[in-house]
Amino acid sequence: MTINVRIPTQLRSLCDGESEVTVEANSVGEALVALNGVNSEFSNRLYDETGNLRRFVNIFVGEEDIRFLDGLNTELRDGQTVSIIPAVAGG
């Protein structure tokens, strides 16, 4: 599946300033791992030492937070958009 991943400003230095990166993946977890093909630093920024997604990183498929879906196992359809959004805004 071809997936568009929207990159937040904080991480754009890892992909030549691009706001969107295209990867091949079948699930959200695969899409995030595939970002390492662009820059191997992506995983260090997104995951903590224990391999969990950092607690201030939110991931969306379309408009939905993956915690309301199947988390990193959420399956993707061709052409869907995955967004990485910092969790500390608002309130």
Interacting stretch for other proteins, rule CB under 8 A, among 28-36, 57-65, 73-81?
57-65
Q: In this complex, which beta carbon is closest to other proteins, that of residue 19 or of residue 40?
A: 19
CB 52 within 8 A of CB 58: no
Helix (H) or strand (E) holding 69: none
Residue in 87, 83, 78 with CA at minimum distance from that of residue 61? 83
Q: In this complex, which beta carbon is closest to other proteins, that of residue 77 or of residue 85?
A: 85
Q: Which 22-41 positions form the footprint of other proteins (CB under 8 A)?
A: none
Q: In this complex, which beta carbon is closest to other proteins, that of residue 27 or of residue 60?
A: 60
The Cα 22–Cα 52 span in angstroms is 23
Residue in 50, 35, 46 with CA at minimum distance from that of residue 85? 46
Using CB under 8 A, list all residues that contact other proteins.
6, 8-11, 13, 19, 45, 48, 54-58, 60, 63, 65, 67-68, 83, 85-91
